[in-house]
Structure 1
Amino acid sequence: MTKEIRLNAFLMNCVGHLAPGQWTNPEDTSSDYLNAQYWVDLAKLLERGLFDTLFLGDVTGVYDVDGGSAVSALTSAAQTPMNDPFPLIPLMAHATRHLGFGVTASVAYDPPYLLARRFTTLDHLTKGRVAWNVVTSYLESGARSLGQESLLDHDERYDRADEYLDLCYRFWESSWDEAAVLRDAQAGTYADAARIHTVNHDGRYFRSHGIFQCEPSPQRTPLIFQAGGSQRGGQFAARHAECVFVGAPTREGVRRSVAQLESQLQAAGRGRDDVRIFAMFTVIVEETSALARQQHQAYLARADLAGARTLLSGWTGIDLSRYNLDDELVYVDTNAGQSALASFSKLDPSRTWTLRDALEFVALGGRGPVVVGDANEVADELQAWVNDTGLDGFNLAYIEMPRTFRNIVDYLVPELQRRGAYKRQYADGVLRQKLLSTGPYRSTVSL
């Protein structure tokens, strides 16, 4: 039986996401990210292509590891400037009916109560189409900007995140009973106070005593995404995540990431069917194979390797400007994100990467592979990755806006549908039901 492939669009509220330099293309519209219509048009396009979600990444802070300053990030627009992704969601939700919205939010800075309220509000406004990509933050510049001396140690950030989510679950799942909201206009009773409960929490990192002020939203708990590729991040994902985002440049690296997660899910008492796993990918698809390869060469010529080095330095916490381009990348533990360096070193021992190799790779699509061809060639490749690695789908980054996604919708989606590998209509229900084929509420919550 042909496996159905899931697609998410992967963006940030910025000029340059994972293709530094491409904003200089006269045909690229990514500099219009400040315009509300830019996002509304994108959401409509993705819904026409039956994408599951528009996945919005985010970082707090600027990339200032490369060369010890933010100059390269600022000049190359390497995820700087960056705006808050949350206000985009109601705009796009109002213009669509089914498209989901995965939004990244860090547990490092906002108190759990405020972030829980924000997600409940979004879940109401989207009628149950919001997902939370949980991150613990990896930029020291963000910690300093928020008044902290430095980030917590890598693994402790996940210890803190465990407690953060446990508290959020209590706000969402246990403060208001299912029948608490009456809306009885005749009796003048909006809610039954006896069915609304105080949350009392005294933990290692957080304290909270009070009633959650939001009535339950369609999903209560937003669908939980997680993208931590370290050992500790994987343990966190195995406990909390319903969708997991992996990134590796080779098929063997993705296969190992999926296998590691499956083992961690089993250790956490969960099954493989409890999650959907997506890999970071970039697709260059055109009407013909020759046109796609011509476009790929044009993108390579425009790629900004300094911007790529800025990104990779920020992801790894290592100032890569101090190394020669022909130096081999070797894994070391850092207090930044550990999965980026692992993806170019220990995840696939059969492949060695020089710094030059990695920068040329990162310059088009970040840590995910780039697939180039006509619709038939690209569909073949995506299906091969799914079959060989155990993936459920792909988080697709863009190189040129809106061409990347327009061509996916116009060329690739119909080919996948022809093969029986892609849906022809959205499933009913909230986002959790569309992606997991379960009920609207999270089934595995630690209260």
Structure 2
Amino acid sequence: MSTPPARPLHFAAFVMNTTGHIIQGTWRRPSARQTDFNDLEHWVGLAKTLERGKFDAIFFADVVGLYAPYRGDERRYFEAGLQVPSNDPSVLASAIAYATEHLGIAYTASILQEHPFNFARRVSTLDHASKGRVAWNIVTNYLPNASRNFGLEGLTKHDERYAWADEYVDVTYKLWEGSWEEDALVQDRESGIHAHYDKVHRINHEGPRYKVEGPHLVSPSPQRTPLLFQAGASEAGRSFAARNAEAVFIQAPTLEVAARDTGDIRSRAVAEGRRADDLKFFQGLYVVPASTEEEARRKAAELDEWIDYDAQLSHMSGAVGVDFGHDDLDTPVGEIRTEGVQSIVGWIHDLVTDRPATLRDVAHFTATNNRIVGTPEQIADRLAAWQAAGVDGVNLVNAEIPGSYEEFVDHVIPTLQARGLAQTEYREGTLREKLFGRGDRLPDRHPATRYRGAFAPVGAR
């Protein structure tokens, strides 16, 4: 029986408009340029490199507040450059769109940080400017400081945040899909009619959090609704993704977990009336390539010497809101009695079997989990295994910018292309068309499409 031909994986670059994103401390390496994040040329240059490598997108993470205190305050984040200072990624989108032709531009925006009316307007403008290459990574918020930055007393309860997200996306869907009819904008010089008034509609949304009259101020963009990313791993997050997401960012620790999680969310999507292949899953991975396995392992060991393990631990500590920075890095995990820590780091015992596992081991794992070290051929083998586990693409983590991506484009992509695991040319059209090949707009089975024609006068429907 012949082996079926390989399907190209999708590739995105996982970045943040800051210095220290995922792997802490490597910005200190002489060859690293993460500290140039304020420089627009830094990002435009990276985008051009990614497009040369036929990447599907550049994917910007973001936060709108400081992580929870570590050793009692936020000092460590500032000292380590850990996601502070942090700039708005949406500001970069139009410049990247202008400098590239095909690269998708995905950026994270929390429901917390902007009213949905203005956010919908901003995204539609960017979708026009990029000719349909914008994606929105929908997030709620898990940082108490971010909540207080926007006038809330504290962190909204987890499931309530997803109820909030349901209404937020509902408003944007109404604006993007229902406010303007497809042929409303005519710009007819002869008649002097620019747009047909009776084909543009108020949405008159009234909900628990928002009251939005409309209409949308932007005419239909190439995608109308941007490509929708989501990354929630909780029960509520999975259900939200199943209803709304087109691309799901996962960070599964093993192939088995990836297979379980992708299968679970696809099943939920089918239960929502969608198709299993309406979702594409992007696994967060990091690679260290070299011409020989020995050389790759040497490079990985050198990188490890630059990792700031205390900052790495502070990142995880601050994200989950459990301050275990008062313990020494060499403290055995078993001696830490905080239940929250036990639930997060219990798996480390399965990885360190020859001695008691320590917090340093936990920190090292957060920096190197899902790191693939080897030759381009070995990396290709491993990526094929992730694909077989249900993954459609890779959100590629970096140790250095632009070096991590230049190495991948120059040394790994050619091998992947030769094996059919990476595209050799871009498909024409919008980001949605490039990823799915089914047109520029959301398919009819997506919940946003129920608003198409929903606000026209009854007699005109």
* Structure-1-length-normalised TM-score: 0.93
User: Are the aligned partners of 2:266 and 2:279 in contact in 1 as well (CA < 8 Å)?
Assistant: no
Q: Do structure 1's residue 206 and structure 2's residue 206 form an aligned pair?
A: no
Partners of 1:233 and 1:429 lie apart in 2 by 30
Change (3 A) 1:290 1:333: closer
**Is 2:175 the counterpart of 1:171?**
yes
SS at match of 2:233: coil
Distance 1:417 1:157 in 2: 41
- Structure-2 separation of matches of 1:421 and 1:395: 15
Moved more, 130-139 or 288-297: 288-297
User: Unpaired segments of 5 or more residues in structure 2?
Assistant: 452-461
Measured in 1, the distance between the counterparts of 2:265 and 2:346 equals 18
Which residue is 1:386 aligned to? 387
Structure 2 partner of 1:224? 228
Task: Tell me the residue number matched to 1:128.
Answer: 132
2:401 maps to 1:412: no
Residue of structure 2 aligned with 1:234, choices 226, 233, 238:
238
Q: In the alignment, which residue of structure 1 is the partner of 2:74?
A: 70
Identity %: 38
Deviation at 1:330, TM superposition (A): 9.9
Contact 1:307–1:363, Cα closer than 8 Å, also in 2? no
Report matched runs for 1:283-302 at 5 Å: 283-302=287-306
DSSP 3-state at the match of 2:213: strand
Question: CA contact under 8 A between 1:331 and 1:342: conserved in structure 2?
Answer: no
TM-score when normalising by structure 2:
0.90
| Amino acid paired to 1:372 | V
CA drift of 1:286 comes to 2.3
Conservation of the 8 A alpha-carbon contact between 1:64 and 1:71: no
Counterpart for residue 17 of structure 2: 13
Q: Does 1:146 align with 2:135?
A: no
Aligned to 2:430: 430
Deviations 1:206-237 (A, max 9, x none): 11112111111100000000000001000000
Deviations, residues 298-343 of structure 1 (Å, cap 9, x unaligned): 1101100111112101221211224564225999789xxxxxx977
Residues paired across the two proteins, number: 436
Deviation at 1:295, TM superposition (A): 1.3
Match of 1:327 among 312, 327, 333: 333
Task: Mark the CA change 1:52 to 1:355 in structure 2 (over 3 Å): closer, same or farther.
Answer: same
Secondary structure at the aligned position of 1:377 is classed as: helix
Q: Deviations over 1:89-135 (max 9, x none)?
A: 11111111000011000001311101111100110111100000000
Report how far residue 191 of structure 1 moved: 0.4
Give the distance between the partners of 2:269 and 2:377, measured in 1 at CA. Answer: 34
Residue equivalent to 1:337? none
Q: Give the ranges of 4+ consecutive aligned residues of structure 1 lying more than 6 Å apart after TM superposition.
A: 329-334, 348-353
Could you tell me which amino acid in structure 2 is paired with residue 414 of structure 1?
A: P
The equivalent of 1:107 in structure 2 is: 111
Q: Rg: which structure is higher?
A: 2
Q: Secondary structure of 1:109's partner? A: coil
Is the 2:322–2:340 Cα contact (8 Å) retained in structure 1? no
Moved more, 159-168 or 285-294: 285-294
Query: Does the aligned pair in 2 maintain the 1:180–1:193 contact within 8 Å?
Result: yes
Output the CA distance in 1 between the equivalents of 2:83 and 2:280: 27
Q: Is the CA contact 1:101–1:130 (under 8 Å) kept in the aligned structure 2?
A: yes
TM alignment of 1:398-409, pairs within 5 A: 398-409=398-409
Within the alignment, does 1:96 sit opposite 2:112 as a pair?
no
Change (3 A) 1:349 1:360: closer
Unpaired runs of at least 5, structure 1: 335-340
Query: Would you say the 8 A contact 2:68–2:319 is kept in 1?
Result: no
Encode CA deviations 1:26-55: one digit per residue, 9 max, x unaligned. Answer: 111111111111111100000000000000
Q: Look up the SS of the partner of 1:320 in the other structure.
A: coil
Distance 1:239 1:264 in 2: 8
1:197 alignment partner, SS class: coil
Partner of residue 365 from structure 2, selected from 361, 368, 382: 361
Counterpart of 1:249 in structure 2 is 253
Question: In 1, Cα distance between the equivalents of 2:108 and 2:211?
Answer: 24
CA RMSD of aligned residues (A): 2.1
Contact 2:12 2:55 in 1 (8 A): yes
Cα separation, partners in 2 of 1:122 and 1:11, compared to 1, 3 Å = same
1:41-80 equivalent positions in 2, closer than 5 A: 41-80=45-84
Q: Does the 8 Å contact 1:14/1:33 carry over to 2?
A: yes
Take 2:337 and 2:102, find their aligned partners in 1: how far apart are those partners? 43
Kindly state the Cα deviation for residue 356 of structure 1 after the two structures are TM-superposed.
3.1
Distance 1:419 1:52 in 2: 18
Partner AA of 2:202 in structure 1 = T
> Which amino acid counterpart does residue 159 of structure 1 have in structure 2?
A
Contact 1:64 1:310 in 2 (8 A): no
Larger deviation: 243-252 or 411-420? 243-252
Q: 2:276 aligns with which of 272, 280, 299?
A: 272
Q: After TM superposition, list the pairs within 5 Å mapping 1:29-40 onto structure 2.
A: 29-40=33-44
Q: Distance in 1 between matches of 2:8 and 2:376?
A: 16
Matched, 1:184 2:188: yes
